[in-house]
Amino acid sequence: MCFETLIGLSNIDGCDCGRPDGTDTIEQMHYEVFVSETPVDPLVLTLTYSLPLEVDIQVYEAGALIPASRFSASTNELSIDDPLDNTTYQVWYLANVSAISTIPAYDTSDSGLFLSDILPESELKGLRDCNKTEWVVQSNSRTTAIKETVASINAAILRKNNKKHTTFTGHIGKQDGDYLTSAFSYVGVRIRTNPIKSGYLRISRLSALFEKNGIVNMTIYSSDGTVVSPTIPITTAAGRAKINDVGITLPMLSDFSTCQDYYIVYEYDPLNKPRLNKTYCAGCNGSQVANTVVNRYGMLNEWPTDYRGPLSWNNYIIIGGIEVDSVDSFDPDENTNLSQFMNGISLEIEIGCDLTKGLCSMIKGGGPEAMAFATAVQRRAASLSVSKRNLSSVPNRENTAKGEEQAKQAAEWEADFAEAVSFLTQTITEYSNDCVSCRSRMSLGQILT
């Protein structure tokens, strides 16, 4: 979420009263990259956070996952045995990372607006209970206000605009085929995505089609060999499909990029061969034939949306099989005509455009839209906090002396909120949010006004 730091809770210093200070952490997988030149043995890497048990650490050497027997962890240092010269090392590990993007310090405000500007700290009494401080309640009010503002704007956007990209939900890859014999070290699939700035590709589940029972470690790379998520251990079942949960969401276009490629790759094992399952059923889609040429549409410009039915995914991604000997990097100009096979992989996916991400792009612009959004969140959050305080069973002077006055203020804040949302919905166009297109004012048989 890009809105949590848009407005602050308070700009008043000198109070040690439990206000969030930006030091909260959350446990999640964290990623760091190092480049060795002429390393000593062992190579010692100093990481940002403390390391967990080795079972929660994944180390990649020139893109390849190395066994845990080659490294050891101590505090925030990782020692790698037998390191290579001039090699990129990538490390994923479970860490308690800063939560400042979701729980910012009380005085962080990108817009310069604070809740205390209109709802002073002195009037927060009555929000505290045995489970929450007034600051937790204020933070929750801000989070709720952000969600409601986003929901209100998105609903209004779709009343005057069309969704430019229809969400596709379905699967890619047949469930049968012969088995692959390969002379390459790694096999998998390559995915070229439609360059939609606010687009997303969500891989929900993966059906593994292999010859034997076992575990296959699948890794998702970008073109430069960056590991975009921790390696996924995929369970295989002898001669039949084995469904595995994945739950990974990938952007359709990264920052500073003109096109986006992903590679889902695993080490080929001749003792557990994958099926040569086709990407799609050629006889099931009429005259439609899937596109397997990744540079067919060029770069940067969004693609035409000509495909229908089960092949609708081809409006958003071009996918096909690959076989490679190295995973330290991938040449996007090599093997641009992909094979029609999925190499033992079938994907359950969702592809669409995130309206909220489109709003983030608009807010980051720093124009009047950003201040309007900040005002909407500030006013709605203040109104929510006053409502919670007035509903509180804890006796306090503010409820008794100012309840009626602040009820009037809350009504004014709600009016300001509605006005700001109205302004935002009027200013949003297909140029400010790439998930929408202007609704035509003319249609067959009628004139829209």
Is the pLDDT reported for residue 121 higher than 90? Answer: no
Predicted pLDDT at 19: 84
Look over the chain and give the mean of its residue pLDDT values, rounded to a whole number: 89
Q: Phi and psi (nearest 5°) for 35?
A: -125, 120
Mean pLDDT for 61-83 is 95
Is the pLDDT reported for residue 181 higher than 90? Answer: yes
8-12, 264-268, 389-393, 420-424 — which is least confidently predicted? Answer: 389-393
Q: Are the C-beta atoms of residues 394 and 129 closer than 8 Å to each other?
A: yes
Sequence-distant (6+) residues with CB within 8 A of 410 are 382, 383, 386, 387
Sequence-distant (6+) residues with CB within 8 A of 243 are 205, 206, 207, 208
Query: Which stretch of DSSP H or E encloses residue 201?
Result: strand 199-209
118-132, 180-194, 352-366 — which is least confidently predicted? Answer: 118-132
In the chain, pLDDT over 70 holds for what percent of residues? 91
**12 or 253: which carries more pLDDT confidence?**
253
Q: What's the first-to-final CA gap in the chain, in angstroms?
A: 36
Query: Which stretch of DSSP H or E encloses residue 276?
Result: none
**123 or 64: which carries more pLDDT confidence?**
64
23-37, 384-398, 400-414 — which is least confidently predicted? Answer: 384-398
Name the 3-class secondary structure at 436.
Answer: strand
How many residues appear in the chain? 449
pLDDT for 345-390, tens place per residue?
Answer: 999 999 999 988 888 877 876 788 899 999 999 999 999 988 876 5
Mean pLDDT for 20-28 is 90
| Alpha carbons 129 and 415: distance in angstroms, whole number | 29
Predicted pLDDT at 402: 60
**440 or 415: which carries more pLDDT confidence?**
415
Predicted pLDDT at 435: 87
What sections of 74-115 are H helices per DSSP?
none
Predicted pLDDT at 441: 56
Q: Quick one: 55 exposed, middle or buried, by C-beta within 10 A (0-12, 13-18, 19+)?
A: exposed
Show the tokens assigned to 204: 């929900």
Res. 391 pLDDT band, cuts 50 70 90:
low
Residue 238's DSSP bridge partners are: none
Candidates 263, 319, 309; CA nearest to 284 is 309
Is the pLDDT reported for residue 440 higher than 70? Answer: no
**77 or 160: which carries more pLDDT confidence?**
77
Domain boundaries, the chain: 27-98, 115-162+357-438, 174-341
Predicted pLDDT at 157: 81
Show the tokens assigned to 393: 């069973």
| Alpha carbons 252 and 260: distance in angstroms, whole number | 7
Q: Give the residue carrying structure tokens 């007035």.
A: 390
| Alpha carbons 95 and 87: distance in angstroms, whole number | 24
pLDDT for 218-249, tens place per residue?
Answer: 999 999 999 999 999 999 999 999 999 999 99
Res. 85 pLDDT band, cuts 50 70 90:
very high
Res. 265 pLDDT band, cuts 50 70 90:
very high
Mean pLDDT for 285-307 is 88
Mean pLDDT for 307-317 is 93
| Alpha carbons 446 and 265: distance in angstroms, whole number | 52
Predicted pLDDT at 364: 78
Show the tokens assigned to 228: 């975009």
Highest mean pLDDT: which of 7-11, 111-115, 210-214? 210-214
Considering the entire predicted model, what is its pTM? 0.88
DSSP assignment of 343-361, as one string? TTEEEEEEEEE-HHHHHHH
Show the tokens assigned to 93: 């590990």
What sections of 10-133 are H helices per DSSP?
none
DSSP assignment of 85-131, as one string? TTEEEEEEEEEEEE-TTTS--TT--SSS-BGGGTS-GGG-TT---SS
Residue 202's DSSP bridge partners are: 249, 350
Res. 1 pLDDT band, cuts 50 70 90:
low
Mean pLDDT for 170-175 is 95
pLDDT for 136-163, tens place per residue?
Answer: 888 999 999 999 999 998 888 888 788 8
